[in-house]
Amino acid sequence: MNGPTIYDVARESGFSIKTVSRVINGESGVRPETIDRVERAIKALDYHPNPAAQRLGGGKLPTIGIVVDSIDDPFFGEVIAVVERRAVEMGMDVLVASTGMDAVRARTQVERLVRRGVSALIVAPFGDDAAARADLPDDVPVVVIDRKCGIEDKDVVRVTDHEGAVEAVRHLVAHGHERIAFLGETAEFTTVQDRLSGYTDALVEAGLAVEPELVETRCWSADVAYPLALAMLAPPDAPTAVFASTPLVGLGVLRALKRLDRQDVALVVFGDFPLAELMTPPTTVVDQRPTPLAHAAFDHLARRLDDAHAPVVETVLPTRLIQRGSGELPPRETS
Amino acid sequence: MNGPTIYDVARESGFSIKTVSRVINGESGVRPETIDRVERAIKALDYHPNPAAQRLGGGKLPTIGIVVDSIDDPFFGEVIAVVERRAVEMGMDVLVASTGMDAVRARTQVERLVRRGVSALIVAPFGDDAAARADLPDDVPVVVIDRKCGIEDKDVVRVTDHEGAVEAVRHLVAHGHERIAFLGETAEFTTVQDRLSGYTDALVEAGLAVEPELVETRCWSADVAYPLALAMLAPPDAPTAVFASTPLVGLGVLRALKRLDRQDVALVVFGDFPLAELMTPPTTVVDQRPTPLAHAAFDHLARRLDDAHAPVVETVLPTRLIQRGSGELPPRETS
DNA sequence: CTGAAAGCGCTTACAG
DNA sequence: CTGAAAGCGCTTACAG
């Protein structure tokens, strides 16, 4: 039931286990010929190091931990998919953990993964800035994704939240809208705060008033967003356009529009989502492109695994406006 | 940097490490008072057993491995989300692995997880029956999900593929359709074979002809399904209804319908998907309900973790037809 | 009901 | 450039 151990490889190759260990870990200062013989023995025996023993001996597990809001969120699903693929390529595997948007659980999940001995962590922090910062370990490489949360001592990969929101709202303005609603999640997140300030800035830039009754920041989930969107869009003096700060919020808005049987409300959603192109009209989005984001995060991870003291970097990826129809609707005639 | 060990707990509680070990593992034959004192010490020190040491000592890792086609598939995403939540409840964590629909990779992924020492595995097998069977280990509990692949010696949780397909096609027949297309993935899978036979059986039952040119089984992905659906639906004598064997295929069909600007083709998709209700018309589906399936799989896992020799069971969950509009369209007038 | 010993398969110092 | 020793933190037999 158990495979060959380092002792078997040592015997087979004629060297000591220490030398085999050196070869496995790619340490320098081993004669090429020795490396060759050891590798031959490893192949011959189909030897694979025991990760638990590696860890206990003093190393880390060949494992990457990833902590996200929820695994079945399409955005994070794509991120995890990319990370898993890249990890497998380097012979590592991936431990997933979700926070369920619960700050306490976010903390315990990170703690558990660190205790497990993961080599590195990719984390979408959750909670207020202070909590998010406190949750992250200092003895394990961490790459923060999606939200900065005021974290300065870790590598961060995020998108241009502010600029993306500005672009979205400018786009609506350019199509003639003057009364544009903002629907978003709680303002606890830097991300959403940035998107909200982008919204505000774009309005001011266009010389339009920021109407507080058109700003709704309590959309925690699609289910919560739905009635709030309904309330916002049902009245005769409803806004002619909506900017939704996340795909989940956008989903709530789309449900409300369907319910109201309205296809004349302009909509731009921050974050692309599957089937957006199949809506009627197809949904215009600001794409945050999870795949490049995940690749960038993994690149940083690999770099830091190589050199724990590499300088901290923050990568801010550009978003991209994808015009599909809903964002190009003209303002409807107000009754 | 390192937390307390079992020795610290032994010292703190006044017992030996063996007794502490007994308490940790819930072994019987320990005095209640002893248990109490040890647990108190564990709490006081905030002790957590080192998983790598547990594993190396002879146990398994408190870890569940899950192998699926792809992590960003909404169906599997939901399954993984449920499994992760349940696992965390029992203090275990989750290693994810994707096959990318590649039989070779399916094998190596399972092998890797077993080598890592996971306590149990949840696997959506990939490949032909013989390969799928050969891939699964016998020394680790395995629960097979979604596809049976002729596996008889493992717990299996799947849905009523045949009956679900029959119900879908009957539904279309009941709404007056006589020319119903089948679009699906390769016939390599039992799952799709069952859905195809359900389609055929329902047609025969209704006294309708099975027209080979209406059966397309080469839809590997949404991208492949799209042109095939286009080719099937563009001609003037196109079928009036479509049964899509998976959500991915359904997506291809929806794109084709959008492209053809047709809202009068009846459609039932096997497998629910997000935003189905927001299509025009809303998409009628046969829901395979990933959440109950995942819970059932986890229940089996927990049972087998308790008793490795529990009898093998196969759970077949019922599907559910959700009428949303697209499946209730009447046949269009043929030109 | 409890404990002392040996061992799991690696790694880290430390030698030479 | 290579190796012998000790130790990581648990568990499994085996005693008593």
Mean residue pLDDT of chain B comes to 92
B259 & B270 share domain: yes
B89 & B238 share domain: no
Buried b (16+ CB within 10 A) or exposed e, A55-89: bbeebbbbbbbbbbbbbbbbbbbbbbbbbbbbbbe
Mean residue pLDDT of chain A comes to 92
- Residue A22 contacts strand D, CB under 7 A: yes
Q: Is residue A13 part of a domain?
A: yes
A31: CATH: 1.10.260.40
Number of domains composing chain B = 3
- Residues of chain A scoring pLDDT < 70: 1, 186-190, 334-335
Q: Is residue A333 part of a domain?
A: no
B255: nearest CB among A1, A258, A278? A278
Q: Is residue B334 part of a domain?
A: no
Q: What percent of chain B has pLDDT over 70?
A: 98
Q: What is the nearest CA distance from A56 to chain B, expressed in angstroms?
A: 6
The three-class DSSP label of residue A310 is coil
Q: What is the dihedral of CA B127, B128, B131, B132, to 10 degrees?
A: 70
A187 & A283 share domain: yes
Q: Is residue B54 part of a domain?
A: no
Query: Degrees (nearest 5) of the Cα angle A244, A246, A247?
Result: 100
- Residue B58 contacts strand D, CB under 7 A: yes
CA neighbor of A53 nearest in space, from A4, A114, A109, A125: A4
B78 & B103 share domain: yes
* Total H helices, total E strands in chain A: 12, 12
Residue type, A241: A
B115 & B127 share domain: yes
A82 & A127 share domain: yes
Q: What pLDDT is stored for residue A85 in this prediction?
A: 96
* Total H helices, total E strands in chain B: 12, 12
Q: What pLDDT is stored for residue B334 in this prediction?
A: 57
- Contact between residue A198 and residue A161 where contact means Cβ atoms under 8 Å apart: yes
Q: Distance between CA B227 and CA B221 in Å, rounded?
A: 11
Is B1's pLDDT higher than 80?
no
Render pLDDT for B282-318 as a digit per residue (tens, 0 to 9): 999 999 999 999 999 999 999 988 888 889 999 999 9
Q: What pLDDT is stored for residue B320 in this prediction?
A: 96
A142 & A168 share domain: no
Q: Is residue B218 part of a domain?
A: yes
Q: What pLDDT is stored for residue A78 in this prediction?
A: 97
- Contact between residue A247 and residue A273 where contact means Cβ atoms under 8 Å apart: yes
A226: CATH: 3.40.50.2300
A225 & A278 share domain: yes
CB contacts, 8 Å: A109 with chain B: 88
For residue B174, the enclosing domain spans: 161-289+321-328
Q: Is residue A54 part of a domain?
A: no
Q: What pLDDT is stored for residue A335 in this prediction?
A: 46
B141 & B240 share domain: no
CA distances from A285 to A152, A245, B69, B332 (A): 30, 10, 28, 34
Q: What pLDDT is stored for residue B335 in this prediction?
A: 46
Is B257's pLDDT higher than 70?
yes
Q: Is residue A55 part of a domain?
A: no
A276 & A193 share domain: yes
Positions of chain D reached by protein Cβ under 7 A: 1-5, 7-13
B259 & B147 share domain: no
Q: Distance between CA A303 and CA A310 in Å, rounded?
A: 8
Q: What average pLDDT does the segment B43-63 reach?
A: 88
Q: Distance between CA B213 and CA A218 in Å, rounded?
A: 52
Q: Is residue A80 part of a domain?
A: yes
Q: Distance between CA B245 and CA B316 in Å, rounded?
A: 18
